[in-house]
Chain A
């Protein structure tokens, strides 16, 4: 049987050095996340939410602390190890979508599979499945991002995040650039994915979105102020 704990971090700190000045973005965060959880991270702007997401997403290493992901010590992992974890174990959804402008929706979704070395017919098949699943109309598969609406772009980004079937889905303000209708649609997708068992952590500063999550973590000044189970669900 799979272990229940997906990852744990202990006393994680991140200090940005800007010349002489050091900015402590995270000042000691401890957190355990089990498989299948749906967590919302809230907090005021500048409280360290994005920094935490980058660390959890293995895009950046903590300055100090302990971080084990899927049994691997992240602080000691090499750049290429981290790239492999990002590629296979983590899906990242950004506020700014971060799609590649030079390729169409389908190709964008495929790209992580290229780095994973998946064969062409297999990855196209899977990319199409996922785009259908997130509800992008088939005729838009061949559209480049600049011809897609915000909601459609974010769907492509979610499909891309899912293509290598990651253990963890991270989303940093995924609805932040969307109108409420498409925002709700995106949240619905996350909810459905979580129902299927996907572990999801999303950052939001809108409380009504946070309330879709089963656990809400509130950050302030680089520290966890509150970590509670959402009983309203």
Chain B
């Protein structure tokens, strides 16, 4: 019998196709939005996480802390803390840390012949290549000798090469590096493989020079901006992080002067931030699903009123309350599930397009698909039950008198 009632519901929906289309529209939009938002959010998160992971799994980042902005003062990044000696001390005293790479970042204008490029200087040491997992494509990376002798040598990111050397081999060419009042000539010794953007940092826009050269010839300071520490054994990243914190706290006597985060923590932070955003957006999309549900209820109420006489006839020939209830409930379920399926397809197409144009992998979580399905049929059930109950409760004689 349930099969017959479903057939009846299908037939009455077929009788009014435009109305059917209008009533599924709200659900389509709601479900498509939920699916797309969740999936795009996961794609974006995955993208960021995989880039963070591509730095190598044992990375620990030590940055300056912030001094609290008490008494009307804005909080400020602490400087004059990270010396080269301190970096060496960390390697020596922390059992799980095998490398610490100092880094100074600075903007610079590069010139070669008539070509200019606004690049970022990353002044660092030879270990950078291993710690940040950015292999050389041509030539070599910075060497110990470069550091010891304050050599004016540079290793270029891929974008720098395309801008400065569109038609030439950059190796052993001399480029002019201009930053502030300094204007120095550097020799190109290597080019890195392309690595791309990671959050605000684009590896391919960097020009890498020896940290000693930077400190002696350009900045004139004794301190670097940050340390990139590395542990051999990624399983011990948490311990390694603790060791650095312990050491720095003891040395600097103020835990606010520095921040230590390992890669796992960064990934988790990124994940937390994006999932909060995704949840918010999905919530908004969910509201449109709710609006779609109200649309279904509206249409079903109109339908019940219009078909009062039909309900009267059905009751007169023996339909029980539950028969009428099921008939109308099935109608709203068909509306919402059809809308849900179309919305699902639309949502998948949208997220596939977004993934395609961003060169992300397409991630469809079965969770969001199941969620959308349960949600849309739930919406049909919840917003269909009131009109269906109204239909089922009609008094047969009064329903038959309805014109």
Contacts and interface: CB of A to CB of B under 8 A. Distances in A.
Interface string B1-39: 100100000011001000000000000000000000000
A100 B310 CA distance: 7
Nearest to A101: B310
Given A100-B313, A103-B11, A114-B1, A88 B318 contact: yes
A131 B126 CA distance: 97
Interface in A187-228: none
Contact of A112 (B1, B11, B317): B317
Q: What is the interface of chain B mostly: helix, strand, loop, or mixed? A: helix
A88 B314 CA distance: 13
Contact of A80 (B312, B320, B396): B320
Interface residues of B, number: 23
A60 B399 CA distance: 12
A79 interface: yes
B316 interface: yes
The interface centre, meaning the residue of B4, B309, B318, B400 with most chain A CB atoms within 10 A of its CB, is: B318
A176 B322 CA distance: 33
Contacts of A54: 397
A182 interface: no
A189 B313 CA distance: 22
Contacts of A79: 320-321
A115 B321 contact: no
A149 interface: no
B15 A112 contact: no
A83 B320 contact: yes
A115 B320 contact: yes
A117 interface: yes
B396 A59 contact: yes
Nearest to A96: B400
A80 B400 CA distance: 18
Q: How large is the interface on A (under 10, 10 to 19, 20 to 34, 35 or more residues)?
A: 20 to 34
A98 B318 contact: no
Contacts of B1: 114-115, 117
B318 A116 contact: yes
B316 A86 contact: yes
Contacts of A98: 309, 312-313, 316, 400
B299 to A, nearest CB: 17
A98 B312 CA distance: 9
B320 A84 contact: yes
Interface in A69-107: 79-80, 83-84, 86-88, 92, 94, 98-103
B232 interface: no
A87 B318 contact: yes
A152 B400 CA distance: 21
B323 interface: yes
B315 interface: yes
B389 to A, nearest CB: 13
Contacts of A103: 11
B242 to A, nearest CB: 71
Nearest to A88: B318
A59 B317 contact: no
A10 to B, nearest CB: 22
A92 B317 contact: yes
A111 interface: yes
A115 B11 contact: no
A111 B320 contact: no
Interface string A157-171: 000100010000000
B79 to A, nearest CB: 81
B280 interface: no
A60 B400 CA distance: 12
Interface string A114-137: 111100000000000000000000
A83 B319 contact: yes
Contacts of A115: 1, 314, 317-320, 323
Nearest to B11: A102
Interface in B299-336: 309-310, 312-323
Interface of A: 54, 57, 59-60, 79-80, 83-84, 86-88, 92, 94, 98-103, 111-112, 114-117, 160, 164
Leading 3 A-B pairs by shortest Cβ distance = A87-B318, A112-B317, A115-B318
Given A98-B313, A111-B317, 20 more contacts: A59-B315, A59-B316, A59-B396, A60-B396, A80-B320, A80-B322, A83-B318, A83-B321, A84-B320, A86-B317, A86-B318, A87-B318, A87-B319, A88-B318, A98-B309, A98-B316, A101-B310, A103-B11, A115-B318, A160-B317
30 contacts: A57-B316, A59-B315, A59-B316, A59-B396, A59-B397, A59-B400, A60-B396, A79-B320, A80-B320, A80-B321, A83-B315, A84-B318, A84-B320, A86-B315, A87-B319, A88-B318, A92-B316, A92-B317, A98-B313, A102-B12, A102-B15, A102-B310, A111-B314, A111-B317, A112-B317, A114-B1, A115-B317, A116-B318, A117-B1, A160-B317
Interface of B: 1, 4, 11-12, 15, 309-310, 312-323, 395-397, 400
